[in-house]
Structure 1
């Protein structure tokens, strides 16, 4: 028998009472011991326990009683075989709450590092080639409106580089039409940019560092790998997770693609994408009898240049290594591939 406060459901008046269980029935008595209610346990609703808040026992007709003595009520419930649900137990258990938080964190980490890249890759591969090419053209126009300047590279040097790239035997890629364009780097310095659709921009500054031989061909093959695998689109879609989710749910990808030109200007490839593009470049260079170590030499030259920037370069603060994060492991892999 435990003390409760009874409300008959017809008025707001509170009645002091006691609640007991007799022969699988709830028995409610007033302060004088007179029986007020008797009902089978199966017809009662028992509210979940929420810390120190009163629990409610509600009868079929809407009358209810409040219970504040939690310990006594728990013993009474246990004697009847009643057991709170998992959610109710978790709300009142630090251990279960901790497990739930840990599970949520695990799901978020899995979603961010596994499901999100996978979904972004699926969406990137679903973009029609015509639309991808249009996005590349829009990105080029955005770059030419302020970030890049017309090239000062001699026409003969440009032609030599284009001819060298055109002569490379590459994996078949019918979805992309590759174009090599040259610009003065300005803010992005010594760099190469792979735009959606197959446009590859090479800055005069990069040619000054890499030359026009095997090293630059390795850089161009690396950029072609980004295009062929649609890494740029994938990175942009992955960075617009909410818009991508909306596109998946409602079938409208325009909200994601509308932001592609602006997002491409600040693109930073993931290490996984850099390794994939390196593997593509190694394959292309080996097909054409070029040493993959030549690409490693370009990376080392850029790294040394970055460690001792001149005044103009320091003001820019951007170059190939900024947009293409690399590690010593990548350089070592390129050198091993040529052995």
Structure 2
């Protein structure tokens, strides 16, 4: 086995190799994506009552793109509801509309259009996602692949660094100028999904949009301070408690944290305080894929993050789930020992051999 806990500073090597480079995105928006953005703009122009939602457990891309689109549509005089089954992390409450996100939708409420952002899968839209009769025109906006696309209108751009980039394109098509409030939302989407412009998805287009957002009034340091430099004490206390669970495989190519419910309760940690802790593992030299095990009432949620050379997709498929190349999660049933062993086996099989 390629597994060894950090006990005596010992590491064993094996023949794991690196994967392929992710490549670079084009500076230009693909023609098909431009056409799709114009169709979304035309559809939204005809609406008055709009629902905007993203995947449950909003990250920066969901929060930024949802709130940015909602704010722009409100500036155009439309009535907009932003929904997410789970509360937005406090980190995003300061954004325009961040404190007015709905967590329930009445069974009789109807919309002219429903816009899904960054969901990847309709199953992630939450239990109050309206049925077809009540949601109006269903607009699917995403930078993840899905086949077949589920919307009445689908705007999918796999080259977009974040969905916030796509929202900006829709607003250009609507000829709606970026206000400071909208720009701040889209900047949060862009900065979080590119890892503050460090990840492999960071493109010329991402930098160009960032410049446009700054021209619209965004202060980059203000964004950094509010999103990254204002961590809740619970997050730091939780990190302290889970450090003894730190695991690095013998090959050094994967590692993990384990978060017990007792530790979450001891420091008053919420789900938002767990989000991102896995990146401490991924940031370790030599680690290609990081995992974090989080106990909850449904089982043990396992989240994966990759540097991009080793895909998370086959790992999640082996475990019975779905995911993307660089990220994904699944809830597994069983004891801690069983789940950890199952995950490490899947990670081991995913590590390519050197040629």
TM-score by length of 1: 0.18
Larger relative helix fraction: 1
Computing the radius of gyration from Cα coordinates, the structure with the larger value is: 1
